[in-house]
Amino acid sequence: MEAQVAARMKRQSLIRERPNTSFSFVVEEYIVRRPLGGSQVLRDQLDHMLDFARLRNVSVQVMPTHTVSHAGLDGPLALLKTPEGKRLAYSEGQESGRLITDPKQAAVLHRRYATLRAQALAPHGSVGLLERIRGEL
């Protein structure tokens, strides 16, 4: 667990270390409403997300809970574009994950993510929602 937390923290540090690299995130609303670990943990999580969302190279969008269906229902994924323009994807599941290097498969997931972003709240509206949720705690 400690190694996973350390790896996640190292990945998160890249967001501030690379201000000319764009980072985009879409999260489900229920994730930012569930007080897993207690209210203080949720407040800290929201503060952390809001700090990142206010950076000029970061886009945070929330998928509203009332959304009946969306392009991300097959599970979490991470998308990457190399400096050479090659598109990659990483698809996660419980106890497994896979790196997708096939250009056609990666392109499908990149298009799916574009659809997902169009279905989620806009970044400004998402920040407003996160602030309202934070204020309710």
pLDDT in tens, 43-79: 999 999 999 999 999 999 999 988 888 878 778 888 9
Q: Please give, one letter per residue, the 3-state secondary structure of 73-95.
A: CCCCEEEEECCCCCEEEEEEECC
Mean pLDDT for all residues in the chain: 90
Q: Is 36 helix (H, G, I), strand (E, B) or coil?
A: coil
d(CA 68, CA 39): 27
In this model, does residue 29 exceed pLDDT 90? yes
Structural domain spans, the chain: 1-66+121-137, 71-119
pTM of the prediction? Answer: 0.85
Return the C-alpha torsion angle 76, 82, 87, 88, nearest 10. Answer: -40
pLDDT tens digits along 80-117: 988 898 999 998 877 778 899 999 999 999 999 999 99
